[in-house]
């Protein structure tokens, strides 16, 4: 189901993390929908980055999107600054994406990871207390919030939270923070608070370290060998537009039905989870000279920090309650991602490529919706 322009047109939206990969895509989509967006985030963490490429383009820059998007650099670990920005924005809908979003940097800087993902979430939600006009808050966490038992079952929303590594644990803790603020303060105030659990997102415009396809693009564009740590690790990969469409749909439903507040898994059907090695093979076609080296880090003495080897989500709750389901199969998601990078490398405008992907995705959603009638 595509986002409803009639709902979003004119809505005041606070978007945290708008300078990141998913946040920059979401800022663009909200602009297309006619929302009035206030973006709050740190400066972009990579060079290049989609936020900066969008500003350089001439199709409505992500950093200077005219009257409909107001961008502020702000550290969500600072409660006073967060409160000031939130109250100035007077949002009706809050989409909280700002985070330290990677597993391996979480090992390198665990305190910063907990401060951003746990206390940062608390600061955003605390700023909503007593704020008139706000109706919906969607807190984005991750598919890694569950206590991963490495079993062959997809995780459901009522499975135990956990997290071996600091990133996963901090996002599980953010789930508890969101539930506490909802139950203690915000539900009584008329604010519907939900958490959105999705991950393993691919798509053009991501240049973060230690993410599979950005690492592949960097290596193959430079003629280097891509080194893969865990070729058999299995994940529920999805194109970036899939969870973003889900976040928007969740907000729309919560506006009309606040009793639907709670936790939601978003992702492909469990059988579409795929190994890292299979995704790399799919991704290599635009780079015929690509070279990849596969390691085997299944043993405890591999020298790499622990990462889960198998993960999939059960998404029946989102499908039945929200009507949300993935529209692009994995092969399409990988192909469009690699086509984006290949075209951008050869001079195509990044923002135009994003618009083309959004157009194609919404067209696919429309076709699927018509088939369901």
Name the percent of the chain in helix, strand, coil, to the closest 5.
45, 15, 40
Closest CA to 203 of 22, 10, 18, 16: 22
Q: What radius of gyration do the chain's Cα atoms show? A: 19
Over residues 51-63, mean pLDDT: 56
Give the pLDDT score at 66: 47
Q: pTM of the entire structure?
A: 0.95
pLDDT in tens, 99-147: 999 999 999 999 999 999 999 999 999 999 999 999 999 999 999 999 9
Q: Which of 212, 210, 199, 201 is nearest to 142 (CA)?
A: 199
pLDDT band at 56 (very low <50, low <70, confident <90, very high): very low
In order of start, what are the domains of the chain with their CATH numbers? Answer: 5-372 (3.40.50.720)
3 state SS of 334: helix
For the record, the structure tokens of 89 come out as 């924005």
Give pLDDT tens digits for 242-256. Answer: 999 999 999 999 999
Confidence of residue 1 (pLDDT cuts 50, 70, 90): confident
The whole-number average pLDDT for the span 181-205 is 98
Query: Which pLDDT band holds residue 229 (cuts at 50, 70, 90)?
Result: confident
In sequence order, which ranges of 262-345 are alpha helices (DSSP H)? 276-283, 316-322, 330-345
Residues in the chain: 373
CB 140 within 8 A of CB 247: yes
Q: Work out the average pLDDT over 79-99.
A: 98
Give the pLDDT band of residue 74 (cuts 50, 70, 90): very high
350 CB contacts (<8 Å, ≥6 apart)? 50, 53, 54, 57, 204, 205, 344
DSSP state of 155: B
Give the Cβ contact number of residue 288 at 10 Å: 7
- What is the three-state SS of 59-100? CCCCCCCHHHEEEEECCCCCHHHHHHHHHHHCCCEEEECCCC
pLDDT category, 297, cuts 50, 70, 90? low
Is residue 61 over pLDDT 50?
no
Q: How far is CA 267 from the centre of its chain?
A: 11
C-beta of residue 87 within 8 angstroms of C-beta of residue 131: yes
Based on the number of CB atoms within 10 Å of its own CB, is 279 exposed (0-12), middle (13-18) or buried (19 or more)?
A: buried
User: Residue 292, SS3?
Assistant: strand
Lowest mean pLDDT among 95-99, 130-134, 307-311: 307-311
Dihedral angle of Cα 58, 101, 211, 150, to the nearest 10 degrees: -150
**Strand partners for 303:** none
Q: What is the pLDDT of residues 332-347, one digit of tens each?
A: 999 999 999 999 999 9
Q: In this predicted structure, what is the pLDDT of residue 67? A: 52
Burial class (CB in 10 A: 0-12, 13-18, 19+), 25: buried
CA 163 to chain CA mean position, Å? 18
Determine the Cα–Cα distance for residues 332 and 329; give it in Å rounded to an integer.
5
Is residue 271 very low, low, confident or very high in pLDDT (cuts 50, 70, 90)? confident
Copy the structure tokens of residue 210.
């230690």
């Amino acid at each position: 189901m595509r986002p409803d322009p009639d709902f979003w047109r004119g809505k005041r939206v606070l978007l945290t993390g708008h300078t990141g990969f998913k946040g920059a895509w979401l800022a663009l989509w909200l602009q297309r929908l006619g929302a009035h967006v206030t973006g709050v985030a740190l400066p972009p963490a990579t060079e290049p980055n989609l936020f900066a490429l969008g500003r350089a383009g001439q199709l409505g820059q992500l950093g200077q999107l005219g009257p409909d998007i107001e961008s502020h650099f702000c550290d969500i670990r600072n409660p006073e600054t967060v409160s000031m920005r939130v109250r100035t924005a007077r949002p009706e809908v809050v989409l909280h994406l700002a985070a330290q979003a990677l597993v391996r940097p979480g090992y390198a800087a665990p305190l910063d990871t907990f401060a951003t993902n746990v206390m940062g979430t608390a600061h955003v939600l605390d700023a909503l207390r007593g704020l008139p006009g706000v109706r919906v808050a969607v807190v984005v966490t991750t598919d890694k919030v569950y206590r991963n038992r490495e079993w062959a079952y997809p995780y459901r929303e009522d499975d135990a939270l956990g997290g071996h590594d600091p990133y996963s644990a901090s996002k599980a803790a953010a789930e508890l923070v969101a539930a506490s603020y909802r139950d203690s303060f915000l539900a009584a105030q008329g604010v519907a608070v939900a958490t959105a659990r999705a991950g393993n997102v691919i798509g053009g415009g991501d240049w973060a370290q230690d993410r599979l396809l950005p690492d592949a693009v960097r290596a193959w564009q430079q003629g280097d060998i891509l080194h893969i740590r865990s070729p058999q690790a299995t994940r529920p990969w999805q194109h970036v537009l899939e969870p973003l469409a889900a976040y928007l749909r969740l907000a729309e439903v919560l506006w009309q039905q606040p009793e639907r507040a709670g936790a939601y898994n978003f992702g492909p059907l469990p059988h579409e989870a795929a190994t890292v090695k299979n995704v790399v093979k799919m991704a290599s076609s635009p780079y015929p000279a690509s070279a990849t080296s596969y390691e085997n880090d299944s043993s405890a003495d591999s020298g790499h920090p622990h990462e889960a080897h198998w993960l999939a989500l059960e998404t029946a709750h989102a499908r039945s309650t929200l009507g949300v389901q993935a529209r692009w199969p994995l092969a399409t998601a990988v192909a469009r991602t690699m086509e984006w990078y290949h075209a951008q490398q050869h001079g195509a405008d990044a923002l135009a490529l994003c618009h083309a992907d959004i157009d194609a995705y919404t067209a696919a959603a429309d076709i699927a919706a018509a088939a369901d009638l």
